[in-house]
Amino acid sequence: MNIFVLTGAGVSAESGLGTFRDKDGLWSRFDPMKLATPEAFAHDPDQVHAFYNMRRQNLLSAEPNAAHRALARLEAGLAERGGSLFLCTQNIDDLHERAGAKRVLHMHGELLKARCTACGDTMLWHEDLSVAAPFPSCRHSGGLRPHVVWFGEMPLEMDAIYDALLGANLFVAIGTSGSVYPAAGFVSEARGHGIRTCEINLEPSDNARQFDERRYGEASEVVPVWVEQVLSQKI
């Protein structure tokens, strides 16, 4: 079986990383238009860097939870059975990788990477970013930004994502509100191609009615149960 899993902030919520749209979520405390757009970065790069520096520090002290670990088991287990997992995440954290996932597509970029706007290269970056920091490979100063996708920018590797989605037997969305496109459109794309769909979330998402199957509860509890059922071929 080939499974396409899309994860969102809900899968990392129990690791202590905030979601965006829940009560007390990041976007209830911070204005995304002032912090997560190219225009905001052009207008006030220090403020944007401070927001992502704070999130990077939080990430460095967070640990993967049982849902991340279960998805890593799913990847290995499907491979042993001749199938595959395509793990696509909207999350910019590295908790899937730290839980053991081998292949993760970060469609909204990665918080632990910096990108030079002059040469376009990226590199691992665990320190605070600042306007003044020079990029080590090209030595250009003043052009460093977090390697993340902002509102108004195109998510990464969309061709590879749609190829994998349309080659899957099952599409599963985990911990995402289904309110940000293009990811929110994957369920209708999958359905349109006759692919079975499943949602795992704390509560029904904006797209809940489009899914064939729905499982609700904390990701750390529901995802491991679902993974064991898939690997024991009860699904």
Task: Give contact residues for ligand OAD (rule: CB under 6 A).
Answer: 8-10, 13-14, 19-22, 25, 32, 36, 90, 108, 149, 151, 175-177, 179-180, 201-203, 205, 218-219
What backbone phi and psi angles, to 5 degrees, belong to 217? 150, -175
Minimum distance from CB of 27 to ligand OAD (Å)?
Answer: 6
In the complex, the smallest distance separating the C-beta of residue 164 from ligand OAD, rounded to whole angstroms, is 18
**Is 108 one of the annotated active-site residues of the chain?**
yes
> Which of 167, 217 has the CB closer to ligand OAD?
217
Q: Which of 49, 96, 106, 108 is catalytic?
A: 108
What is the pairing mode between strands 104-106 and 122-124?
Answer: unpaired
Min dist. Cβ of residue 69 to ligand OAD (A): 14
Indicate the residue among 19 and 197 with the shorter CB distance to ligand OAD: 19
- Closer of 14 and 97 to ligand OAD (Cβ): 14
CB of 63 to ligand OAD, least distance (A): 15
Alpha-carbon span 135 to 120, nearest angstrom: 10
Question: Smaller CB distance to ligand OAD: residue 90 or 197?
Answer: 90
Q: Which residues are identified as catalytic?
A: 108
